[in-house]
């Protein structure tokens, strides 16, 4: 497989600030890339709950990070409060995937658990197995700094197992300002061959941009690529048939899966 995406145009819906690595990976396979972000990563409405958690880190047994964004915003706020990463030395940490774990390690923060399955269900299973069974979750204090709006599976599962979970907003995913809907419409209806969704928010926000719960007409004729099954489920809810989904829920794996799809001679 050399450059199977030569002559293909892939639309990236990821936040512009995080699209470069994905774009470079696709271009490595020969693609033309159009970055049309449907989300923007921003501060939460309030930092009050995160600030309170940071002041009481000694009270937590675990911190679970479910995204690189969660790590970045948490650490930025930690340092702005006059704290250091050494405050986390006595707290065990879990990272949802290797990219998130790598960001923690880059900040010289130890990582105790990285699940094999990079989603909330995988985090729960990995944490349960690491501590020696679900009954040992009973009474643990867990901090979960994450997006202001996110799935409830993980905190619900942990609480049902007897843990106390503080879910605190560390950042928000919002619609980008000044989206050029005309340009986006023209791209989707014109030169684009494939559109890649990297989170459920990227799907939902595209629906918001076009004021619809059914994206099938807007994306008619496009190959639909999703980073994982949660995103794919959201895409299906918006009327989309998902053509590409990697086994590993990472950006490099998604780029490779798109390349492999077209390497099979798909037009």
Q: What is the pLDDT of residue 150?
A: 77
Residue 41, exposed/middle/buried by CB under 10 A (0-12, 13-18, 19+)? buried
Residues 74 and 135 occupy one common structural domain: yes
Q: What is the pLDDT of residue 266?
A: 64
Q: Which of 147, 173, 199 is the last residue of a domain?
A: 173
Residues 52 and 169 occupy one common structural domain: yes
Asked whether residue 14 is domain-assigned, the answer is yes
Q: What is the DSSP string of 146-190?
A: EESS--SHHHHHHHHTT-EEEEEEEEEEEPPTT--HHHHHHHHHT
Strand runs (DSSP E) across the chain, as ranges? 9-12, 32-35, 40-42, 62-65, 92-95, 141-147, 164-174, 194-197, 223-226
Residues 129 and 143 occupy one common structural domain: yes
The domain that holds 203 is classified in CATH as: 3.40.50.10090
Q: Which of 173, 194, 229 is the last residue of a domain?
A: 173
Structural domain count, the chain:
2
Render pLDDT for 95-132 as a digit per residue (tens, 0 to 9).
Answer: 999 989 999 999 999 999 999 887 888 899 999 999 99
Asked whether residue 213 is domain-assigned, the answer is yes
Does residue 256 or residue 147 have the better pLDDT? 256
For residues 255-267, average pLDDT? 88
Residues 80 and 189 occupy one common structural domain: no
Give the structural domain span for 214: 9-39+176-263
What percent of the chain has a predicted confidence (pLDDT) above 90? 81
Residues 112 and 153 occupy one common structural domain: yes
Length of the chain in residues, anyone? 267
Q: Which of 119, 152, 173 is the last residue of a domain?
A: 173
Residues 85 and 190 occupy one common structural domain: no
């Amino acid at each position: 497989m050399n450059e199977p995406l030569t002559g293909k145009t892939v639309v990236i819906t990821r936040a512009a600030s995080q699209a470069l690595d994905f774009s470079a990976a696709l271009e490595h396979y020969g693609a033309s890339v159009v970055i049309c972000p449907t989300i923007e990563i921003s501060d939460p409405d309030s930092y009050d709950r995160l600030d309170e958690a940071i002041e009481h880190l000694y009270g937590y047994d675990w911190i679970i990070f479910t995204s690189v964004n969660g790590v970045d915003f948490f650490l930025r706020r930690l340092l702005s409060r006059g704290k250091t990463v050494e405050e986390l030395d006595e707290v065990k940490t879990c990272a949802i995937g290797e990219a998130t774990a790598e960001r923690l390690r880059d900040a010289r923060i130890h990582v105790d658990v990285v699940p094999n399955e990079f989603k909330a269900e995988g985090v729960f299973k990995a944490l349960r197995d690491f501590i020696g069974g679900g009954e040992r979750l009973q009474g643990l204090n867990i901090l979960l700094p994450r997006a202001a709006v996110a799935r409830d599976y993980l905190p619900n599962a942990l609480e049902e197992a007897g843990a106390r979970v503080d879910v605190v907003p560390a950042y928000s995913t919002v619609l980008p300002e000044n989206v050029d809907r005309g340009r986006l419409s023209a791209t989707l209806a014109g030169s684009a061959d494939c559109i890649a969704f990297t989170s459920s928010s990227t799907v939902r926000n595209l629906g918001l941009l076009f004021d619809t719960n059914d994206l099938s007409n807007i994306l008619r004729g496009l190959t639909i690529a999703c980073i994982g099954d949660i995103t794919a489920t959201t895409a299906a809810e918006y009327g989309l048939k998902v053509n590409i989904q990697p086994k590993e829920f990472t950006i490099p794996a998604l780029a490779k899966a798109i390349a492999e799809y077209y390497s099979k001679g798909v037009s």
